[in-house]
Structure formats: C-alpha cells, structure tokens
Chains A and B, each alone.
Chain A
Amino acid sequence: EVQLVETGGGLIQPGGSLRLSCAASGFTVSSNCVSWVRQAPGKGLEWVSLIYSGGSTNYADSVKGRFTISRDNSKNTLYLQMNSLRAEDTAVYYCARWGNWENAFDIWGQGTMVTVSS
C-alpha cells in the first residue's frame, strides 16, 4: 500500500527548532517529488516546500531561510528541519507526493501537529 506517515510534531517555544519526519511505503521517495504542506488551525492549505527526485529543493517565501527539506534514501524518509519557529508556524504539517503521472499531490499523510507557543 502506498502510504506516508508523519511524525515529530509537538509543542515548541518561539525561536526553537523541530524536525519532522515522513516515512514512505509502497514507493521510493528518491524517485519522486515530495512536498510539505501545512494547515493552520481553522485555515486553508499552504504549500511549504518540495524536493525533486534529482535533489533540487524549493520553499515558500514564508519559510525560506528557516526551514530545510531533505531526505534519507536508505530510510525512504522525508524530513523538514524547522528553525527559528514563530507562532504563525503553528499548523498541521502534511507530507504529500507530487505524482509522476498526475501533476498533483496524489498521496497525503495523516499530518502531524506543530504548536509554537510559550
């Protein structure tokens, strides 16, 4: 079964750091474009970052310079390192696969909640 499972969310103080993980099964992360998308409480979806199969990355302006996307091919896992966290980063963070044939996010994880608060 093709699946994504996020972990690593939690409560963190402003200015702190957190690393999210997204374990993939049923497909190979390194052969696909995979992304992070977040959703603040009661708000809409916001695209955060992506990493292509070739390793190139891109970020939303709101997180550029603070967040880093990466992957571990041996663990078939995607990561999001989040530094200098702000209250406005509070959200459910989803990882999602950008389909090779469908130019869209075809597979989504269940999400992990990140709360930035003192």
Chain B
Amino acid sequence: QSALTQPASVSGSPGQSITISCTGTSSDIGGYNYVSWYQQHPGKAPKLMIYDVIKRPSGVSNRFSGSKSGNTASLTISGLQAEDEADYYCSSYTSSNTRVFGGGTKLTVL
C-alpha cells in the first residue's frame, strides 16, 4: 500500500496554468478510472475537485481538469487565482479494494 507519488510543490502566477502529476502503478491508477483529486486549505477538511479521472462535481470551477495516461494522472488548474493556493491530493481505488492517497502537493500562487 505505497502512497502515490506527487511533487512536493508547484507554483504559478495569477492567470497561468499549472499541472500536478500523480504516479502510481497498474494496481491502482493504471488499472482503474477511479482517480480523484482533493483540495485542502490549512485547517480545513479536504474538498473533492475531480472524480473518475476527468469529472467535476457540481460547483467546482471548470478551471480544474483531470487526465490520465498509463499509471500517471494529472490535475491541471488554468487561470490561476489566489484562492487556488492550497494543498492538493490525488487518490485512487486499488486492486486490493482499498484506497490510496498521494503525498500531497503544495500549490503556491506567486
């Protein structure tokens, strides 16, 4: 049950786009389209931003998009805004019928 691999930090200026990668294995990301992404502001509970690799829950801005290629999933945020500054976590269903999270990526809006 190893954690998925994310970069520790990414940054971008307002209006720019950034992409956060999330690498797993064929037993999790590569084997299922059950990848999700969560945004977490300091001291707050995580919030679902993307599910089933590419889908957005109602109320989530269309500036957030997801994709997957092989064992790696990605979250792209376009038109960066100050309020996007937060920690982001990927997650996947696994072949063991468990769930696994990435180590998290701190997004800084410059």
Interface residue count for B (Cβ, 8 Å)? 27
Query: Is A44 in contact with chain B by the CB < 8 A criterion?
Result: yes
Is the beta-carbon distance between A108 and B52 smaller than 8 angstroms?
A: no
Task: Give the interface SS of chain B, mostly helix, strand, loop or mixed.
Answer: strand
Query: Is A106 in contact with chain B by the CB < 8 A criterion?
Result: yes
| Chain B residues with CB below 8 A from A45, complex form | 38, 40, 46, 89, 91, 101, 104
Is the beta-carbon distance between B101 and A46 smaller than 8 angstroms?
A: yes
Is the beta-carbon distance between B3 and A60 smaller than 8 angstroms?
A: no
Is the beta-carbon distance between B99 and A44 smaller than 8 angstroms?
A: no
Complex: chain A residue closest to B37, CB-CB: A104
Cα-based distance from A50 to B96 in the complex (angstroms): 12
Within 8 A of B (CB), among A55-90: 58-62
| Chain B residues with CB below 8 A from A59, complex form | 98
Is the beta-carbon distance between B48 and A106 smaller than 8 angstroms?
A: yes
Interface residues in chain B, defined as those with a beta carbon under 8 Å from any beta carbon in chain A: 1, 3, 34, 36, 38, 40, 45-48, 51-52, 55, 57, 87, 89, 91, 93, 96-104
Complex: chain A residue closest to B51, CB-CB: A104
Is the beta-carbon distance between B46 and A105 smaller than 8 angstroms?
A: yes
**B33 nearest CB across to chain A (Å):** 8
Is the beta-carbon distance between A108 and B101 smaller than 8 angstroms?
A: no
| Chain A residues with CB below 8 A from B104, complex form | 44-45
Q: Which of A96, A102, A109 contacts B51 (CB 8 A)?
A: A102
Chain A CB within 10 A, most for which of B1, B3, B45: B45
| Chain B residues with CB below 8 A from A58, complex form | 96-98
Complex: chain B residue closest to A96, CB-CB: B46
